Amino acid sequence: MQLREDIRNIAIIAHVDHGKTTLVDQLLKYSGTFRENEQVDERAMDSGDIERERGITILAKNTAINYHDTRINILDTPGHADFGGEVERIMKMVDGVALVVDAYEGTMPQTRFVLKKALEQKLTPIVVLNKIDRPNARPQEVVDEVLDLFIELGADDEQLEFPVVYASAINGTSGLEPEEQEETMDPIFSTILEHIPAPVDTREDPLQFQVTLLDYNDYVGRIGVGRVIRGSIKVGQQVVVMKKDGSTKSFRISKLFGFIGLKRIEIEEAVAGDIVAVSGLDDINVGETICPVDHQEALPFLRIDEPTLQMTFLVNNSPFAGKEGKFVTARKIEERLMKQLETDVSLRVDPTESPDAWVVSGRGELHLSILIENMRREGYELQLSKPKVIIKEIDGVKCEPVERVQVDVPEEYTGSVMESLGERKGEMLDMVNHGNGQVRIEFKVPSRGLIGYSTEFMSQTRGYGILNHTFEAYEPLIQGQVGGRRQGVLVALENGKASTYGIMQLEDRGIIFVDPGTEVYAGMIVGEHNRDNDLTVNITKEKHLTNVRSATKDQTSTIRKTRKMSLEEALEYLSEDEYCEVTPESIRLRKKILNKSEREKAAKRTKLV
């Protein structure tokens, strides 16, 4: 069996914000892949605007580094469980993984999630302990935590013999001991070359190429990115694609692309072990196998994680519809959703009885909110319903998604957090007191209990708590109400501008969401009531002027700070009878029925049912 010693394929996996993308930056820099004078952005692999702003990786990216005489293909994966579909497929393209762990935070829920996927594929791991320069880093304890996690996830003996490299990606240093940090990435490169297996050279065998990621380009159409598992592939070659349903389709390879640094370069041929992009077939999909015409043999199809959350996307029909967006019609919104399906394999879009509404299912709140945020930046206007978890029937039993939740909170807030998660049908699994005033608690909570929880958690812990959760499994449905908003809302009575006087009259009724001068319409939600029922209010009320002077006239009145919601917070906040209206400029909450008397009639009818 001959090996290709000139190549290594490795994926970088980690929990959100443990420094994967920054580490890839440093590997690119120290390998001499860029020219001396080349301007390179920080977190160069995160190319999307939202990825840069939030500091998270949403789409898996691949790059290649030439180190001495070896090409190292590196795949930077998303750390967030909502993009788990990406992580799982990438494991099929590589022979090993570099698990990056924060030297202070240690193993987190998504560390478990991504590592589990890697161990299931029998990949060879190396561990990079990052952020070793943090003042309270605890390298030895974290290595023990990582070892415990490997054992818990059923790693075999070879996988348990993982090498550890200590690094500070932000400072560009690394070493084989925590104290021996040098301004180089050589220890990481040499560990990769020494421990990650080289691919088997099977270039003489018939071709097998599996599509793992999709890309789209207006010039060449759909592009399938994947690894040449066996044989070789050439530009102009006539091949067959083995489809999911068992059918086949022949096409000619029009272009082949290889990767080096951050660039995609056209190549003529690739052989077993190479990671390349192929264009030429419009309807190629993830998991399909490309083979020679005379040797049709499909690889096992890739399993893609099922969606767990769904929302209804609707055409905006509020009184302000069409004022702020460019694309407002049903046709435009449907086209955009269909385009998203070209590259996002974890997304589902289903039509409804209404031509103006679609049920969109995704892997979680973040997955769907990133799509909505992208759409509003592109000029779309739409309305959204409350997110709902997808209930499945497994062996005749109704099941719902359950998540593993890990919270890190100061000691004094543990009681209130445990109580609130208990109310949301959470089950406590583990509790560790780190001794520095911080406690880490693990729970298992139904996904629907977590919708809307992060805002409550932040106020409970005064912003000091850290909440992480990741999909665990489908379990039998828990009966009764789980979670949900407890407070009622303040609803505007009529169209107009919110006035300072109107807002001041309402301040003792709850928290206001709009600033003075904001345009509002009847049925729009303008605040949160401090009781559990909804209240219709006149926020546009002006003060009537009289010719009587007030004794307190010279006292200046001030209004409290209003609460501004991000897109995720607004979606989590929604109740069953409400919509979130999203435009390029605004995020508004509204009642489904805008008219007060009609709304009250509908509420009575639902109570009677």
Instruction: Please determine, for residue 471, whether its predicted confidence score (pLDDT) is greater than 70.
Output: yes
If you average pLDDT over residues 408-417, what whole number do you get? 87
Is 1.10.10.10 the CATH number for 7-195?
Answer: no
Asked whether the beta carbons of 87 and 76 are under 8 A apart, the reply is: no
If you average pLDDT over residues 275-286, what whole number do you get? 80
Is 3.20.20.110 the CATH number for 208-292?
Answer: no
If you average pLDDT over residues 377-381, what whole number do you get? 92
Six token digits for residue 245: 């349903």
Instruction: Please determine, for residue 37, whether its predicted confidence score (pLDDT) is greater than 50.
Output: no
For residue 52, give every residue at least 6 positions away whose Cβ sits within 8 Å of its Cβ, in sequence order, or none. 43, 46
55 vs 149: which has the higher pLDDT: 149
Six token digits for residue 222: 């759909």
The rounded distance, in Å, linking the Cα atoms of 221 and 19 is 33
Q: Which of 223-232, 478-487, 530-539, 560-569 has the lowest mean pLDDT?
A: 478-487
Instruction: Please determine, for residue 48, whether its predicted confidence score (pLDDT) is greater than 60.
Output: no
What is the pTM assigned to this prediction? 0.75
What burial letters (b/e) apply to 265-279, b meaning 16+ CB within 10 Å? Answer: eebeebbbbbbbbbb
CATH of domain 392-476: 3.30.70.240
* Residue 385 confidence class, pLDDT cut points 50, 70, 90: very high
Give me the chain's average pLDDT, please: 82
For residue 96, give every residue at least 6 positions away whose Cβ sits within 8 Å of its Cβ, in sequence order, or none. 8, 9, 10, 11, 123, 124, 125, 126, 192, 195, 196, 197
The rounded distance, in Å, linking the Cα atoms of 373 and 416 is 33
Question: Which own/partner contact pairs does 41-49 have at CB distance under 8 Å and 24+ positions apart?
Answer: 44/262, 45/21, 45/76, 45/262, 46/21, 49/377
The rounded distance, in Å, linking the Cα atoms of 264 and 255 is 12
Q: What pLDDT, on the 0 to 100 scale, is given for residue 62?
A: 73
The rounded distance, in Å, linking the Cα atoms of 280 and 576 is 46
Instruction: Please determine, for residue 270, whether its predicted confidence score (pLDDT) is greater than 50.
Output: yes
For residue 480, give every residue at least 6 positions away whose Cβ sits within 8 Å of its Cβ, in sequence order, or none. none
Bind-site residues = 17-22, 130-133
If you average pLDDT over residues 442-471, what whole number do you get? 80
Instruction: Please determine, for residue 31, whether its predicted confidence score (pLDDT) is greater than 80.
Output: no
Q: What pLDDT, on the 0 to 100 scale, is given for residue 26?
A: 82
The rounded distance, in Å, linking the Cα atoms of 528 and 598 is 21
Asked whether the beta carbons of 482 and 448 are under 8 A apart, the reply is: yes
SS3 for 245?
coil
User: Over the stretch 535-582, which tens digit does the pLDDT of each residue have?
Assistant: 999 999 888 777 766 655 545 567 778 888 888 888 888 888 899 999
The boundaries of every CATH 2.40.30.10 domain in the chain are 208-292
Six token digits for residue 383: 């309305």
Tell me whether residue 435 is exposed, middle or buried, using C-beta atoms within 10 angstroms of its C-beta: 0 to 12, 13 to 18, 19 or more: exposed
For residue 422, give every residue at least 6 positions away whose Cβ sits within 8 Å of its Cβ, in sequence order, or none. none
The rounded distance, in Å, linking the Cα atoms of 368 and 313 is 11
Count of beta carbons in the 10 Å neighbourhood of residue 484: 14
Nearest Cα neighbor of 90 from 12, 193, 7 is 12
For CA atoms 113, 116, 120, 125, give the dihedral sign: positive
The boundaries of every CATH 3.30.70.240 domain in the chain are 392-476
DSSP states of 133-198 as a string? TSTT--HHHHHHHHHHHHHHTT--HHHHT--EEEEETTTTEEESSSS--BS-SHHHHHHHHHHSPP
* Residue 52 confidence class, pLDDT cut points 50, 70, 90: very low
Per-residue CA distances from 575 to 165, 353, 484, 595 (Å): 48, 22, 8, 17
Strands (DSSP E) found in 200-320: 208-217, 221-230, 232-234, 238-242, 248-252, 255-260, 263-267, 269-271, 275-279, 289-292, 309-314
**Residue with token string 């805008």:** 594
If you average pLDDT over residues 289-318, what whole number do you get? 84
If you average pLDDT over residues 418-430, what whole number do you get? 87
Asked whether the beta carbons of 439 and 433 are under 8 A apart, the reply is: yes
The rounded distance, in Å, linking the Cα atoms of 39 and 61 is 20
Angle between helices 414-423 and 453-460 in degrees, nearest 10: 160
Q: Which residues pair with 489 in a beta bridge?
A: 528
Bind-site residues for GTP = 17-22, 130-133
Q: What pLDDT, on the 0 to 100 scale, is given for residue 54?
A: 43
Q: Which residues pair with 241 in a beta bridge?
A: 249, 290
The boundaries of every CATH 3.40.50.300 domain in the chain are 7-195
User: Over the stretch 320-373, which tens digit does the pLDDT of each residue have?
Assistant: 999 998 989 999 999 999 888 877 777 899 999 999 999 999 887 778 888 898
The rounded distance, in Å, linking the Cα atoms of 392 and 389 is 10
